[in-house]
Chains A and B, each alone.
Chain A
Amino acid sequence: MSKQTILARLRNADHRGISYPDAFTVPRADDSTVCETFIASVTAAGGRIIRVRNLAGAAAAIRENYAGERSVFSAVKGIELGTVTVGPETTAKEMDTLDVAILPGELGVAENGGVWVSERVMPHRLLMVICQHIVLVVHRSALVRDLHDAWERIANHDDGYGVLIAGPSKTADIEQALVIGAQGAMTATVVLIEPE
């Protein structure tokens, strides 16, 4: 059987007993600038930031910014702006016309502007990529410095799927010219909730 043949070949080679590098010595950023850094990173990734004080403020800002959009889905409790429902049985064809997907971000990573969204908050995985515009609602308390922090925070999560989303989809495949808005969301907005 191929598995056994392959593993046997690997086992036959010399092994040096190199242990896992337990000592983690990578220097880390300062915690105090995490908010400013996150905002700068989202912008650098082609996304937009809207800063609000609370959930009501978030809902108001989203309603205002996406007033003309017909097909809206919201997975955020307290932001009842959805005009369509999506479930696990919803087909890709049905979701293809989705204008806006409003999703809760469980984490925001300051060093790269990434927002973590997992399957537990999305009735269908396609929601994170098929919409024209993606809105990620993130609490200030969910911001972390870097990816080391991020994986530590979700170490015990066992979601079947999770994705770190940094800005809108993009490509530079045509003569290295950057195009914002490729195959996923054309625009990405992070609504950052910062209570006093």
Chain B
Amino acid sequence: MSHTTDRPIIPHPIAAAEFQRDPGTVQWHDTAVWAVRKKRDRAAGSVPGWEELRRRASELKAHTLDHLPEYLEQFEREALKKGVQVHWAEDAREHNEIVHGILSAHRVTKVVKSKSMLTEECGLNPYLHARGIEVVDSDLGERIVQLAKDRPSHIVMPAIHMRRTEIDEVFQQHLHTRPSNGDEVYLTQEARKHLREHYLDAHAAITGVNFAVAETGAVVVCTNEGNADMGMHAAPLHIACMGLEKVIPRQQDLGVFLRLLARSATGQAVTTYTSCVRRPRNGAEMHIVIVDNGRSRMYGRQHFNTALHCIRCGACMNTCPVYRRSGGHSYGSTVPGPIGSILSPNADAAAYHSLPFASTLCGSCSDVCPVKIDIHGLLYGWRQEIVRTVQPSKLKFLLLNIAGVVTSHPPLYRWSGTVLRFILKAMPLRIRNAAGGAWSRQRELPDVPSASFQEWYRRREKS
């Protein structure tokens, strides 16, 4: 699920090298993101049934996905019964057209939007902007990124890549605040005033959906700031946009997912506001847009479709050593990090071919995933898929075949070892270290041993 963009996608290693140029920034970003992982650990550790919860969440998602068409139809039926209008969009373009259609039917020229990775994925903001509709992102992190004409780098903490001094400058420029060296209390208060004005004169509110309950047709939206509620309760028109994988069977199941979500995302027991909307407000209108945009294709991929279990907590990003030290922008995708590296190649394997390789396969992501997606397993699976379909490398296959022959013939193997040790010893140090390619940019080859292990062992046994 890449986002609609005409920017060329830069392969991860090249984009990451750019981020890596300032070791100070890398260290700061790494520490800041890891701190969130530590908060998650404290929260998870304080729940006696944590692993049981994860297991149940995983089972619920597996069951739901297995019966997805039925649950989606049930969700729609229940929502319609309660006076909510429901739309279906095959792709990003149709989603944008539907949303625009609803807005223009109501002559809306200004919308407030709370966090929705889906609308980011579909490129909704530029689409509406080009058609004369102003979109104000109301989540503080997203508003900062919007004003800075930047992109979010994390699905839960969109501005985590920005220093407070940078944020201060954005506020000075757009909100006319006094220079405060990034005083977060002052800036948050100024943002409150600024956004309040927008809520009061917005004609419509767009929100995302954290969970869609099939049993009741309810839409659940979780925030800490209260921005989704300010938007949807003030405006006469509310549009909730959701990926089709957001549906869960019963209201009771919310207990499982909500106990896992905030703890995994930020280490809080729960977000400040967990809003459950079943009906539009009296006199107001409510629409839900159910979006495919590559999800049904992912659904058909037997080996990868568990990625649709994702509840967008961001825990995998917080723990990933590659994400922490390369930043969300290096992935070039709406959802970065480990889960993003599984979702994006589904949409466009050629553009995102480098992402599954941007991993050490350490498996930390799988450890923290609240719904137990085998993230590192799926990344490994994608590598095989990509090598087979997108990037078959004749040279790599040749070298591996040669290695296969050498290692299956012991005399040939021993002879190769002797020759290699001779060459490496004879080679000047500088050339030897350069021979390692990218690996040897920050490492030296070890000293060349005088004999092979077999030779050393035989000598030792004789004495």
Chain A residues in contact with chain B, CB under 8 A?
Answer: 1-3, 5-7, 9-21, 24-29, 41, 44-45, 88, 92-93, 96, 109, 111-114, 124-126, 128-130, 146-148, 150-152, 155, 158-177, 179, 181-185
Give the distance in Å from the alpha carbon of A164 to the alpha carbon of B167 in the complex.
Answer: 31
- Asked whether B63 lies within 8 Å of A161 as measured between CB atoms, the reply is no
- Asked whether B255 lies within 8 Å of A184 as measured between CB atoms, the reply is no
Residue of B nearest to A25 (CB): B52
The 7 A-B pairs of least Cβ separation, nearest first, read: A184-B226, A160-B279, A112-B269, A173-B141, A112-B270, A92-B234, A3-B88
- Asked whether B275 lies within 8 Å of A163 as measured between CB atoms, the reply is yes
- Count CB-based A-B contacts (< 8 Å): 241
B69 at the interface (CB under 8 A from A): yes
A58 to chain B, nearest CB (A): 23
- B4 cross-chain contacts in A, Cβ below 8 A: none
Known contacts A7-B69, A169-B224, then 6 further A-B pairs from the complex at CB < 8 Å, ordered by chain A residue: A18-B59, A26-B256, A88-B281, A161-B277, A171-B188, A171-B225
Report 9 cross-chain contacts, Cβ distance below 8 Å, ordered by A residue: A20-B60, A21-B63, A26-B56, A113-B270, A126-B229, A128-B229, A148-B255, A161-B278, A174-B159
Contact of A15 (CB < 8 Å), options: B66, B274, B279: B66
Residue of A nearest to B202 (CB): A92
Give the distance in Å from the alpha carbon of A173 to the alpha carbon of B269 in the complex.
Answer: 18
Which B68-99 residues have C-beta < 8 A from chain A? 68-69, 72-73, 76, 82, 88-90, 94
- Asked whether A161 lies within 8 Å of B270 as measured between CB atoms, the reply is no
B351 at the interface (CB under 8 A from A): no
- Asked whether A183 lies within 8 Å of B227 as measured between CB atoms, the reply is yes
- Asked whether B252 lies within 8 Å of A163 as measured between CB atoms, the reply is no
- Knowing A151-B254, A161-B281 are in contact, say whether A173-B158 is a contact too (CB < 8 A): yes
Contact of A176 (CB < 8 Å), options: B49, B157, B189, B191: B157
B233 to chain A, nearest CB (A): 4
- Asked whether B182 lies within 8 Å of A174 as measured between CB atoms, the reply is yes
Residue of B nearest to A159 (CB): B278
Interface majority SS on A: helix, strand, loop or mixed? Answer: loop
- Which stretch, B12-20, B295-303, B399-407, B450-458, touches the partner chain A? B295-303
Give the distance in Å from the alpha carbon of A15 to the alpha carbon of B68 in the complex.
Answer: 10
- A21 cross-chain contacts in B, Cβ below 8 A: 56, 59-60, 63
- Asked whether B255 lies within 8 Å of A146 as measured between CB atoms, the reply is yes
B85 to chain A, nearest CB (A): 13
- B252 cross-chain contacts in A, Cβ below 8 A: 148, 151-152, 155
- Knowing A129-B229, A161-B276 are in contact, say whether A175-B35 is a contact too (CB < 8 A): no
Give the distance in Å from the alpha carbon of A169 to the alpha carbon of B279 in the complex.
Answer: 24
Contact of A161 (CB < 8 Å), options: B188, B192, B275: B275
- Asked whether A160 lies within 8 Å of B188 as measured between CB atoms, the reply is no
- Asked whether B32 lies within 8 Å of A7 as measured between CB atoms, the reply is no
B230 at the interface (CB under 8 A from A): yes
Give the distance in Å from the alpha carbon of A124 to the alpha carbon of B283 in the complex.
Answer: 12
- Asked whether B299 lies within 8 Å of A169 as measured between CB atoms, the reply is no
- Asked whether A150 lies within 8 Å of B255 as measured between CB atoms, the reply is yes
B108 at the interface (CB under 8 A from A): no
B273 at the interface (CB under 8 A from A): yes
B138 at the interface (CB under 8 A from A): yes
B173 at the interface (CB under 8 A from A): no
Contact of A96 (CB < 8 Å), options: B63, B72, B196: B196
- Asked whether A9 lies within 8 Å of B299 as measured between CB atoms, the reply is yes
Give the distance in Å from the alpha carbon of A92 to the alpha carbon of B162 in the complex.
Answer: 33
- Knowing A2-B88, A175-B184, A176-B35 are in contact, say whether A88-B277 is a contact too (CB < 8 A): no
A114 to chain B, nearest CB (A): 5
Which B139-197 residues have C-beta < 8 A from chain A? 139-141, 144, 157-160, 162-164, 167, 182, 184-185, 187-189, 191-192, 195-196
